């Protein structure tokens, strides 16, 4: 599997041992530190269209989550421990500290956004600013799971089924599964928004049974431990202590309703806007995504 260094000219590559396993990351640019985390079923490569503009203002750290891309994919037990967002968030702090950053901003898409808000809740004071792309908190997703939402996000329950059922089904034709999911979530309902080199990278990870297992474990943790963490924080009235920007695809999963009211239940300082895209704003509409991120991350808005 190519690491696609040609998509990130001038960036350094890192393999760093953390409490969440060995993490692959790239770093580049100059300025305050900014950690960027991808979602399912992708890798750090999702940021290649927005990184050049952001790197003019920030020292970017683009990490593969545990079990994705080039990061290690440890086998999980019944508690799904390596793939809880609490464990992943702790691993990201280890990564940033290894690179010399104790405090930083974070942009997270999809599962990366869930790691981001969990990091903010578990480690107050670590984040300067948090941007979440095309998600609402896990608590809100499960507690809103009605007939309509369950149909739209069927992968939440499918991937969370006990192993080895989803792993086996995906493993029969991983390219088909990945291509179909990404096309169905894009605003154009096809693969045209994605660079062929990026698609090849995403597909390559899904050729590895352990990475398929890891991505299922991510969702098993989401149905159990991650939800329990959110419920405990909600009951305790715990909130995110940094400014939050919520961006969502106007043709994405939560497109019918603005998620801002939901995020304001979890943080006091929230703003956001839709992006003309499906579920993948950084790849489908990098210009609008960058234009929304920069004023927030630099403190200009």
* pLDDT tens figures, 33-92: 999 999 999 999 999 999 999 999 999 999 999 999 999 999 999 999 999 999 999 999
Tens digits of residue pLDDT in 145-181: 999 999 999 999 999 999 999 999 999 999 999 999 9
What digits encode the pLDDT tens for the residues 180-199?
A: 999 999 999 999 999 999 99
Model pLDDT, residue 12:
97
Bridge-based pairing of strands 21-28 and 12-18 is antiparallel
Three-class HEC string of the chain: CCCCHHHCCCCEEEEEEECCEEEEEEEECCCCEEEEECCCCCCHHHHCCCHHHHCCCCEEEEECCCCCCCCCCCCCCCCCHHHCHHHHHHHHHHHHHHCCCCCEEEEEECHHHHHHHHHHHHCCCCEEEEEEECCCCHHHHHHCCCHHHHHHCCHHHHCCCCCCHHHHHHHHCHHHHHHHHHHHHCCCCCCCCCCHHHHHHHHHHCCCHHHHHHHHHHHHHHHCHHHHHHHHHHHHCCCECCCEEEEEECCCCCCCCCCHHHHCCCECCEEEEEECCCCCHHHHCHHHHHHHHHHHHCCCC
Is the pLDDT score of 254 beyond 70? no
Q: How many domains does one find in the chain?
A: 1
Q: So what's the pLDDT on residue 2?
A: 60
Q: With 80 as the cut, is the pLDDT of residue 301 above it?
A: no
Q: Any idea what the CATH number is for the domain that residue 152 is in?
A: 3.40.50.1820
pLDDT in tens, 219-252: 999 999 999 999 999 999 999 999 999 999 999 8
Residue 257's pLDDT band, with cuts at 50, 70 and 90, is: confident
pLDDT at 255: 55
Predicted local confidence at residue 4, as pLDDT: 81
* Predicted local distance difference test score (pLDDT) of residue 72: 97
Burial 18-53 (b: 16+ CB within 10 A, else e): bebbbbbbbbbbeebbbbbbbbbbbbbbbbbbbbbb
Rounded Cα–Cα distance for residues 98 and 88 (Å): 15
Instruction: Give the pLDDT confidence score for residue 124 in this predicted structure.
Output: 98
Measured distance CA(50)–CA(155) in Å, rounded: 27
In whole angstroms, give the CA distance from residue 256 to residue 301. 25
Cα–Cα distance measured from residue 244 to residue 131, given in angstroms and rounded to the nearest whole number:
6
Cβ-contact 142, 269 below 8 angstroms: no
Give the structural domain span for 193.
5-297
Distance CA 178, CA 94 (A): 30
pLDDT recorded at residue 242: 99
| Residue 5 confidence (pLDDT) | 82
Answer yes or no: is pLDDT of 282 > 60: yes
CA atoms within 13 A of residue 143's CA, in its CB half-sphere: 11
What mean pLDDT do residues 108-132 have?
99
Q: Is the pLDDT of residue 3 over 70?
A: no
According to the model, what pLDDT value does residue 252 have? 81
Quick check: 138 pLDDT over 60? yes
Read off the pLDDT band of 256 (50, 70, 90): low
What's residue 159's pLDDT?
A: 98
Among 140, 165, 177, 143, which Cα is nearest to 263's? Answer: 140
What residues have CB less than 8 Å from 17, skipping those under 6 apart?
Answer: 23
Which residues are known to be catalytic?
Answer: 110, 279
Q: pTM of the prediction?
A: 0.97
Predicted confidence band of residue 300 (pLDDT cuts 50, 70, 90): confident
């Amino acid at each position: 599997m190519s690491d696609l260094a040609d998509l990130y000219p001038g960036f350094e590559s890192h393999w760093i041992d953390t409490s969440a396993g060995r993490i692959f990351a790239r770093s580049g640019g100059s300025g305050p530190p900014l950690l960027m985390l991808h979602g399912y079923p992708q890798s750090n490569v999702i940021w290649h269209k927005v990184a050049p503009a952001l790197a003019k203002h920030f020292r970017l750290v683009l990490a593969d989550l545990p079990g994705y891309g080039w990061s290690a994919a440890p086998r999980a037990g019944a508690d799904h421990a390596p793939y809880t967002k609490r464990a992943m968030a702790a691993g990201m702090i280890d990564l940033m500290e290894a690179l010399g950053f104790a405090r930083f901003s974070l942009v997270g898409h999809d599962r990366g956004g869930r790691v981001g808000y969990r990091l903010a809740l578990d480690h107050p004071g670590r984040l300067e600013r948090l941007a979440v792309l095309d998600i609402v908190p896990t608590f809100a997703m499960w507690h809103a799971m009605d007939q309509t939402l369950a149909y739209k996000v069927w992968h939440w329950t499918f991937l969370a089924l006990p192993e080895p059922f989803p792993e086996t089904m995906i493993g029969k034709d991983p390219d088909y599964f990945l291509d179909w999911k990404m096309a169905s979530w894009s605003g154009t309902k096809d693969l045209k928004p994605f660079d062929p080199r990026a698609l090849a990278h995403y597909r390559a990870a899904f050729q590895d049974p352990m990475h398929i297992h890891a991505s299922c474990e991510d969702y098993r943790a989401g149905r159990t431990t991650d939800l329990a963490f959110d419920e405990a924080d909600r009951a305790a009235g715990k909130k995110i202590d940094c400014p939050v920007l919520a961006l969502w695809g106007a043709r994405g999963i939560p497109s019918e309703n603005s998620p801002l009211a939901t995020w304001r239940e979890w943080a006091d300082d929230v703003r956001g806007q839709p992006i003309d895209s499906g579920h993948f704003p950084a790849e489908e509409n990098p210009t609008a995504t960058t234009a929304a991120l920069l004023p927030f991350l630099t403190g200009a808005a």
